[in-house]
Each structure stands twice: as structure tokens, then as C-alpha cells.
Amino acid sequence: MNTEFDIVIIGGGAAGLSCALSMDRLGFHVAVIEQAPETALENPRFDGRELALTHHTIAWLKDYNVWPHFALSQVTPLQRADILSGHDAARAARKLLSFESMDTPSEERAPLGYLVAHHVIRKALYEEVRKRENITVICGKDALRSGAHAEEAHMDLDDGRRFHARLIVAADGRFSRARAQRGIGAVTHDFRRHILVCRLSHTRPHHDIATQWFDEGQTLAFLPVGEKSADGRDCSSLVLTLKPDDISRLAHMAAPDFVNDIAQRLQGQLGAIDLVSARCTYPLKAVYAHRFRAARFALIGDAAVGMHPITAHGFNFGLKGQETLARKIADGAGDPGEPRLLRQFEMAHRRDTMPLFAATNAIATLYTRDAPLSLKLREATLQFAQNSNPLKRFVARVLSDH
């Protein structure tokens, strides 16, 4: 088998596969190394994540023919996002901060963004990747280590093979081993909380509205899902943040007990509820790599910037990072590992991601503090923002990347 490529990408997640499509369009021969078996790419399992996609991301997915793979019911327009603070749901709902869909330059009302499940996006990306002759996907293999000389990089697989390329791209997730192995550290913000995500069916219609509720002692979000339950009810994705032990207890509870517990936490906000999916859990750790490059080596996706999900930007940044890398390579002299263009990529991607990474961590920290002063500050900032239309428009534009 050929072991000489222009670019080797470590990781066949959403970021790695997107990058493969971009590099293929530039005319490069690309290998993607993925440790999971091929079935995990052909039919990725539901993992609870409903990704809010910005307009920029949607434009990219359309340009690369990924968007047409989604069924209509798998794409949910986000018409409004409400933010609530405080324990009493009824009181919090009267003092909410609300972002509506926006007027676009063409005078049409555009949704804030669209929600598509992560496993659906991964499947669609892989279906497109498979059509490209110049992309080779090697599954079930662990990328052990990489290194570089001035003219060439190499990467060793766990089966003893050595791959040669002009550029290695690490897209192996937020706890990236490839990053550490090349001596690149990362700032890690451990929120000491875990997340549980699952789909609920409910009797109250969601009207394509997402709600982020900073309760006391817990944070809940419900995101509208276009697909209906078997009995025709609306469905939402629940995102619950609690201490790790509490999340573990809820994840392993019998389903009827879980539904009762969640119903109490929701205070009737979705009406009567039922559990209609598996429950998935994640540790809440945000990660920002000290550098996004080394010799003939670049970091993209969560390996570069692993966001707290509250501002819904992890994949959006992952897509943007690989797009920036591809643009810099396209502007170069033909060598994708040229140090100057990797430096330019790093500067541009840091500029794109650092402000929102810092703001997201600050919001997530302030809005999970329940001291009386913090609660007052939380409510006051929401009220201030609600009464400031220019500020709301600015935030909506940043988050939806219009």
C-alpha cells in the first residue's frame, strides 16, 4: 500500500474529514488515519450532540456538497434562543434575554442558525470523502508518533508502517496525543462538571426555540429537534450540567426514574416528557493549544481549540480552522508544510478563536456561580443585554457568524 502522501491527517472526526475535502479540492493526495473501525465512520452512533451550525459553516457544507445529504427532518432552524437565570422557572422566564432571528442584508428574516446532529454530519462528511479518489482513509489504526525534517514529515502507525508527507495535520480531538507528542502544551480549563445529553419527547411544542437556563446548582439547555417521536410529539435535546457524581447517577438510573427526576428539574417547561434516546455524558473541559503548529505539523479542530459547548462553537471553529489552513496553503507556493504559511494559519486562527474562547469560559464560570452576589449580577447582565438592541444584534451576529 502507498505510504507517500502530500498530507496525512490524524483523526477522521468532523474536523479531519472536512480538512480532507478541502485539501483534495486543492489537488493534494491525502491520507486520513482513524483509530476507530470503518463502520464507525459509515454509520456513526448517536452521541447526543445536536450541533448549532453558523451561517458560515452551512455555506461551507453546501459548497462541499455535504448539506444535501441531510434529510429535511434532520435540519432544525433555530428561530430564537432564550437565556434564563435563577431557580424559579416562571420568574426567570419573565426576565429572560432573547435572541431572535435576524434581518439579513437581503431583508429576509434568517434563522439564527440550524441544528444538525453530530453523527448525521459525520456520516455525510464520510460519504463525500469516499467519493474522492485522492483521499485514502485508513481505519482501525492508531497514529503513534510523527516527526519532521526540513523537507518532509513522517508518521508511524501501530502496525509498524511509516507514512511520509509534506504536512501532518492533527485532528485527533481535545485530548490530542499527537499535539502532546510534538511538544505542544495546552491551556486546560476544567469546569469540574460533566454534561448529560439525550433526546426527550414532550407535549409542549418547541416552536424552534432553544432555551439556555442557568438554574441554581444546575445548568439546563433544551434544543429543538426537527424529528418527531414515534407518537408524533415534538422532541428536544436536553443538555444538563451537574457535578460528575450526579451526572453518573442520572446516566445509570432506570429510565422511568430518570424521566421523573428530569421532569422535576424542568418545572414543567416542556410539558409532560419522555426519554427517546440513549443518554450520553461528557466531561466539561475547555482546551486551547499553546501553538497550532510545529515543523510540517498543524493542529485543527478540538485538538487546537476545544470549546465549552455553551456558545456552540467547537465544530464551527474546527471547520473554520481547516478552511483557514487550506486558504493559506492555496496562497502559498505549492508546499503545504511551508513554515511561513503555517505561521500565518496560526495567527489567523488564533485571531478568529481566542476572543470567543475567553468570553465563553468567563460566561460559563459566572453563570454557574450561585453566591447571592453572582445571582444578582447574572440577572442584571441579562436584563442589561435584553434592553440593548445593538448589543443583542452584535452578539447574535458573532454567534451565528453571518
Ligand X SMILES: Cc1cc2nc3c(=O)[nH]c(=O)nc-3n(C[C@H](O)[C@H](O)[C@H](O)COP(=O)(O)OP(=O)(O)OC[C@H]3O[C@@H](n4cnc5c(N)ncnc54)[C@H](O)[C@@H]3O)c2cc1C
Residue 319 C-beta: closest distance to ligand X, Å: 8
| Number of other CB atoms surrounding residue 301 within 10 Å | 30
- C-alpha cell of 100? 431572535
Residue 291 C-beta: closest distance to ligand X, Å: 17
Residue 301 C-beta: closest distance to ligand X, Å: 2
Residue 108 C-beta: closest distance to ligand X, Å: 23
Residue 38 C-beta: closest distance to ligand X, Å: 12
Is the Cβ of residue 86 or residue 120 nearer to ligand X in the bound state?
A: 120
Helices assigned H by DSSP within 64-117? 89-94
Residue 384 C-beta: closest distance to ligand X, Å: 25
How far apart, in Å, are the Cα atoms of 294 and each of 170, 297, 337, 338?
11, 5, 10, 11
As a whole number of angstroms, the distance between CA 65 and CA 205 comes to 32
Is the Cβ of residue 282 or residue 375 nearer to ligand X in the bound state?
A: 282
As a whole number of angstroms, the distance between CA 254 and CA 272 comes to 18
Q: What share of the chain is helix, strand, coil (3-state, %, to 5)?
A: 40, 30, 30
As a whole number of angstroms, the distance between CA 191 and CA 397 comes to 27
Main-chain phi, psi angles of 6, to 5 degrees: -75, -45
Residue 115 C-beta: closest distance to ligand X, Å: 7
As a whole number of angstroms, the distance between CA 261 and CA 200 comes to 13
Q: Where are the beta strands (DSSP E) in 44-119?
A: 50-53, 76-78, 80-85, 97-100, 102-103, 109-110, 113-117
Is the Cβ of residue 86 or residue 176 nearer to ligand X in the bound state?
A: 176
Is the Cβ of residue 12 or residue 86 nearer to ligand X in the bound state?
A: 12
Is the Cβ of residue 361 or residue 379 nearer to ligand X in the bound state?
A: 361
Residue 199 per-residue DSSP state? E
Is the Cβ of residue 86 or residue 265 nearer to ligand X in the bound state?
A: 265
CB burial string 15-28: b at 16+ within 10 A, e below:
bbbbbbbbbbebeb
Which residues are CB-neighbours of 367 under 8 A, at least 6 positions away? 85, 214, 219, 378
Is the Cβ of residue 15 or residue 86 nearer to ligand X in the bound state?
A: 15
Is the Cβ of residue 221 or residue 379 nearer to ligand X in the bound state?
A: 221
Residue 264 C-beta: closest distance to ligand X, Å: 22
Is the Cβ of residue 34 or residue 215 nearer to ligand X in the bound state?
A: 34
As a whole number of angstroms, the distance between CA 206 and CA 224 comes to 6
Interface contacts to ligand X, rule CB under 6 A? 10-16, 33-36, 49, 51-52, 118, 142-143, 171-173, 177, 195, 197, 239, 282, 301-302, 309, 312-316, 318
Residue 340 C-beta: closest distance to ligand X, Å: 25
DSSP per position, 309-372: GGG--HHHHHHHHHHHHHHHHHHSSS-TT-HHHHHHHHHHHHHHHHHHHHHHHHHHHHTT--SH
